[in-house]
Amino acid sequence: DAGVTQSPTHLIKTRGQQVTLRCSPKSGHDTVSWYQQALGQGPQFIFQYYEEEERQRGNFPDRFSGHQFPNYSSELNVNALLLGDSALYLCASSLFKTSGQTGELFFGEGSRLTVL
Amino acid sequence: AQKITQTQPGMFVQEKEAVTLDCTYDTSDQSYGLFWYKQPSSGEMIFLIYQGSYDEQNATEGRYSLNFQKARKSANLVISASQLGDSAMYFCAMRDWTGNQFYFGTGTSLTVIP
C-alpha cells in the first residue's frame, strides 16, 4: 500500500522564480492538503483540495496556488519566490467523510525548498 | 482563533522510562479533534493518536496515551517505556470544526538516552 509520495525531495531556486511541487495521495484517499513548515516551526496550512476544487485556504498570498487532478494527485505552485518561502512543503492526504470532518492526515516526507 | 501551545522545546528521557509531552489549546469551537504526530529527521509526519472533543475516555494506542483535560484545554501525550527510536520531534495538532484545517504547535524535541 503506497503512502503519500512527493517530488522533488529537494530543490533550490532563486528569488523571483516559480516552483511546482507534486503529490500523490495514499491509495484510497481523495483529499489533499498542503502545509508549509519553516525551520523550527510547526506546519502551517496552505490549502486543501477535494473533488478538484480548493475547499479551504489558510493565510497565504495568491502567489501560492494549487491543483488537483482526477486521479486525486495534486500540485502546489509558488510564483515570484521570496527568501521567506524557503521551507519544507508537506503534502497530506485524507479521506473525506460524509460528516464533513477530515479524518487523520497521512503525510509525505516533504519537498525541501531553498530560495537563494 | 485556534491556537496550539507546546511549551517544552526539548525533553530528555531515560530509555524504558515514561515521559509526558505537554500541549494546551485554545478554541471556541465545541467540536474539534486533537492529534499527536511524530516527525523523525526524515521529515515525514507520523500519526500517533487522536482524541475527539466529545470523547469521554482518554485515547490510547499501544505505548501512547493522551491525557485529555477538556476544562483545562490540555491534551498531553504520554509515552510509556521509551525506546531509542522514539527520539524525534513531536507535534500536537487540532482539527477545527470545519474539519479541513489542522493547527500545529511548535513541537517538542524528545531525546531518549540509553
The whole-number average pLDDT for the span A45-66 is 95
- Identify whether the C-beta of residue B70 lies closer than 8 Å to the C-beta of residue B90: no
Whole-angstrom distance, CA of residue B97 vs CA of residue B29? 6
- CA–CA min distance B108, chain A (Å): 10
Q: Would you state the cell numbers that stand for residue B43, as one nine-digit string? A: 521529515
The per-residue DSSP string of B50-100 comes to EEETT--SPPEETTEEEEEETTTTEEEEEE-S--GGG-EEEEEEEE-TTSS
Where b means 16+ CB within 10 Å and e means fewer, B43-65 reads bbbebbbbbebeeeeebeeeebb
- Identify whether the C-beta of residue B103 lies closer than 8 Å to the C-beta of residue B96: yes
How far is the CA of B46 from the CAs of A25, A90, A108, B10, B63, in angstroms? 15, 12, 9, 19, 15
Q: Which residue from A40, A28, A30 is spatially nearest to A88, judged by alpha carbons? A: A40
Within 8 A of A107 by CB-CB distance, chain B residues are: 37, 44-46
Within 8 A of B98 by CB-CB distance, chain A residues are: 56, 100
Neighbour count for residue A99 (Cβ, 10 Å): 9
- pLDDT band of B9, cuts 50, 70, 90: very high
Instruction: Dump pLDDT digits (tens) for B82-105.
Output: 999 999 999 999 998 777 889 999
Neighbour count for residue A113 (Cβ, 10 Å): 21
Within 8 A of A106 by CB-CB distance, chain B residues are: 47
- pLDDT band of A101, cuts 50, 70, 90: low
CA angle B37, B70, B33 (to 5 degrees): 40
Q: Does B103 contact chain A (CB < 8 Å)?
A: yes
- pLDDT band of A47, cuts 50, 70, 90: very high
